[in-house]
Amino acid sequence: MAESNKMKDMPVNKLMIQMGIPMILSMALQAVYNIVDSAFVGNMKVGSEAALNALTLVFPVQMLMVAVGIGTGVGTNALLARTLGQGNRKKAAKVAGNSLFLGVIIYVICLLFGIFGVRAYISSQTVDVEVLEMGVSYLRICCVISFGIIFFSLFEKLLQATGRSLYSTIGQVVGAVVNIILDPIMIYGIGPCPEMGVKGAAYATVIGQVASAVLLFIFHMKLNKEFKHDVKYMKPETGIIKEIYAIGLPAIIAQALMSIMVYVMNLILKFNPSAQTAYGLFYKVQQFVLFLAFGLRDAITPILAFAYGMRDKKRIQDGIKYGLIYTIALMILGIAITEIFPGAFATLFNAGQSREYFIGAMRVISVSFLFAGINVAYQGIYQALDGGMESLVISLLRQLIIILPLAGIFSLFVRNGQMGISLIWWAFPVTEIISCFAGYLFLKKIRKNRVDVLN
């Protein structure tokens, strides 16, 4: 029970660093999957431009699969941490078991989409036959073998909920290393492996994800001793599933809205394939930076949820304070890197005709990272303190209500030749600043109604 004692007694600032660093590394490595694929694909001898465009078009569905897995995991994480904080070990076992049952259902849905829905999805975004075929091949593999990323996401959150975030990071590192090693072998055809191009990138990705999931399953069974493990706990209980999604659904919607946003942005930029590809490449760099905030959020949520379960006002207040301070520091670092080295990232991807659009996007959109990171931290705080609706509203503002109409309006000026393509990129900083102000107001309300009233 040493891990639970740590959640209860360790000073919050130290606990957040101890839990946050492995989670930040874990999320950063998760973003590496897509960056590595794009880097190797961008350096293919034949068809690299089409391949980069194809990966841009499939990215929203990859994000959506991660969204559902991580969102379900976030709900499990917060509920499990709170339940353990209350000392209810039997319910904790049911929470863990029900989350795995949900993982099976999620995989079946992804499998069916991979078999029947992939071609229609890709064809909605491009008329280029080469891009279409590459996108279909890549995405079908990722969907059919999606059980790796789904169950990795769940076991990761089960380990994080008990304070064992280091082990989830080990699993993520193993998967990333496997992916990086297999990418050049399977894409270019090294040794006995035939040259597979974008199919090779897809296989390398899913094999890495499966390796991570298997390792985390072993860690979960051997280390999470605070509750029992048995197939009988996978029997679905409506009440527990509702509790999981009362917390996790806003996180799923938040991540799913990211997929919708990227998909609609691809449609907005369809008039300029080079700008479309540039946005897709930049979004992967952006995800790498924002995943640092997501990783810290995944430390903020269980720490606050555990403290909230104990009704410890001081630890809740400390969690909010240090969560925001550390997030701001991370985002300042992210802005510095992307503003100073945009050319290096363009070279990494071998961006070709998209290079100038990519650099322009990086210089403008990275301004928004500070406000975006704070918004992510706000959402982690809301989720821990039963503020699912507030989290949902922030997601809707950031990724639907403000950003898409604004980008669509700006694109009209670009298409008419009155402005440069960079005008579209400015929709992102404007959106994050407005959303951050709304998030601050929500935080004041939650502190007043749910924290200040505690004894």
Residue with tokens 């440069």: 420
pLDDT digits (tens, 9 = 90+) for 409-429: 999 999 876 678 889 999 999
Tell me: pLDDT of 3 over 60. no
pTM as predicted: 0.78
Average pLDDT over residues 447-454: 88
pLDDT digits (tens, 9 = 90+) for 138-152: 999 999 999 999 999
- pLDDT tier, 104 (very low <50, low <70, confident <90, very high otherwise): very high
Whole-number Å distance between alpha carbons of 272 and 439: 34
Nearest to 78 by CA among 319, 438, 289, 406: 319
Q: How far is CA 216 from the centre of its chain?
A: 18
- What is the model's pLDDT at position 284? 84
- What is the model's pLDDT at position 147? 95
Least confident of 2-11, 83-92, 156-165, 192-201: 2-11
- What is the model's pLDDT at position 272? 86
pLDDT digits (tens, 9 = 90+) for 345-366: 988 888 778 899 999 999 999 9
- What is the model's pLDDT at position 173? 84
- pLDDT tier, 198 (very low <50, low <70, confident <90, very high otherwise): very high
Residue with the larger pLDDT of the pair 91 and 375 = 375
Tell me: pLDDT of 1 over 60. no
Kindly state the percentage of the chain with pLDDT values over 70: 97
- pLDDT tier, 329 (very low <50, low <70, confident <90, very high otherwise): very high
- What is the model's pLDDT at position 295? 86
pLDDT digits (tens, 9 = 90+) for 167-180: 888 888 898 889 98
- Hey, what are 409's tokens? 């309006």
- What is the model's pLDDT at position 33? 67
- pLDDT tier, 34 (very low <50, low <70, confident <90, very high otherwise): low
Instruction: Give the 3-state secondary structure of the chain.
Output: CHHHHHHHHCCHHHHHHHHHHHHHHHHHHHHHHHHHHHHHHHCCCCCHHHHHHHHHHHHHHHHHHHHHHHHHHHHHHHHHHHHHHCCCHHHHHHHHHHHHHHHHHHHHHHHHHHHHCHHHHHHCCCCCHHHHHHHHHHHHHHHHCCHHHHHHHHHHHHHHHCCCHHHHHHHHHHHHHHHHHHHHHHHHCCCCCCCCCHHHHHHHHHHHHHHHHHHHHHHHHHHCCCCCCCHHHHCCCHHHHHHHHHHHHHHHHHHHHHHHHHHHHHHHHHHCHHHHHHHHHHHHHHHHHHHHHHHHHHHHHHHHHHHHHHCCHHHHHHHHHHHHHHHHHHHHHHHHHHHHCHHHHHHHHCCHHHHHHHHHHHHHHHHHHHHHHHHHHHHHHHHHCCCHHHHHHHHHHHHHHCHHHHHHHHHHHHHCCCCCCHHHHCHHHHHHHHHHHHHHHHHHHHHHHHHCCCC
Tell me: pLDDT of 255 over 80. no
- What is the model's pLDDT at position 39? 87
Least confident of 83-87, 357-361, 393-397: 83-87
- What is the model's pLDDT at position 367? 92
- What is the model's pLDDT at position 418? 67
Tell me: pLDDT of 85 over 60. yes
- What is the model's pLDDT at position 323? 94
Most confident of 76-90, 180-194, 261-275, 375-389: 180-194
Residue with the larger pLDDT of the pair 216 and 256 = 216
Mean pLDDT of the chain: 89
| Distances, alpha carbon 368 to alpha carbons 79, 213, 293, in Å | 31, 33, 13
- pLDDT tier, 317 (very low <50, low <70, confident <90, very high otherwise): very high
Tell me: pLDDT of 124 over 70. yes
Tell me: pLDDT of 4 over 70. no
